[in-house]
Amino acid sequence: MSETHFGFQKVDERDKVRRVRGVFDSVASRYDVMNDLMSLGLHRAWKAYTVAVAAVREGDRVLDIAGGTGDLARAFAGKVGSRGLVVLTDINEAMLRRGRDRLLDEGMVLPTALCDAEALPFAPESFDLVSVAFGLRNMTHKERALAEMHRVLRPGGRLLVLEFSKVAAPLQKVYDWYSFKVLPRIGKVVAGDGESYRYLAESIRVHPDQQALKGLMKDAGFGHVDVHNLSAGVVALHAGIKC
């Protein structure tokens, strides 16, 4: 078994899967309120931008991977209409349950699947669009996950990866201070778990930056990849086309 990153630590690959599960089991119940607090609501704008770039049409088939509490799936469901399909998936039961329950409370019944992005239970070329927001960073074999996303897309279909990325140099110091000093404290007070939010900050630092992720997507078979920096690179949206 080889080693991989869990934040700044080097751990056995199986241990990473277990620890990532622990993080999301722990934060699931406070996940949405923490997202609003720690991003000062900005995650809503980043997701709205992703949905705008996706430009899904009525009748499209959309797969949301690592969909958690369902923000993107819910937005896509409003666009594809009754002839379309949006499937909400996640590897973590606690997160997926919250997503499904939240959608049900809003009167939306979407198919959900508990599955690992590295082994998707869908036939090749099943979807017009695949999205993954703030999930790729947590995956052990990103190349494997990207290859799976490519496999389930139809030719001409698009993958949208919304993820934390490399912030512009002038903001680096203040961003580090916020991530390592402030964020874990907010996590401790609001979610009763500072460590999971320390992992969040560390995992962002070891995640491939804009150019490296673009390279991984090209290696996975995406012929064209656009990179959109958001909030000075705090987050980047990578849009890849299967061509």
Ligand X SMILES: C[S@@+](CC[C@H](N)C(=O)[O-])C[C@H]1O[C@@H](n2cnc3c(N)ncnc32)[C@H](O)[C@@H]1O
- Which positions lie near ligand X, rule CB under 6 A? 20, 24, 65-69, 71, 90-92, 95, 116-118, 133-135, 138-139
Smaller CB distance to ligand X: residue 6 or 134? Answer: 134
Name the closest residue to ligand X (Cβ): 68
Smaller CB distance to ligand X: residue 65 or 225? Answer: 65
Smaller CB distance to ligand X: residue 65 or 87? Answer: 65
| Residues 67 and 102 sit within 8 Å (Cβ to Cβ) | no
CB of 95 to ligand X, least distance (A): 4
CB of 243 to ligand X, least distance (A): 25
CB of 25 to ligand X, least distance (A): 9
CB of 188 to ligand X, least distance (A): 18
- Tell me the Cα Rg of the chain: 17
Burial class (CB in 10 A: 0-12, 13-18, 19+), 84: middle
Smaller CB distance to ligand X: residue 24 or 127? Answer: 24
Q: What is the dihedral of CA 187, 191, 193, 196, to 10 degrees?
A: -70
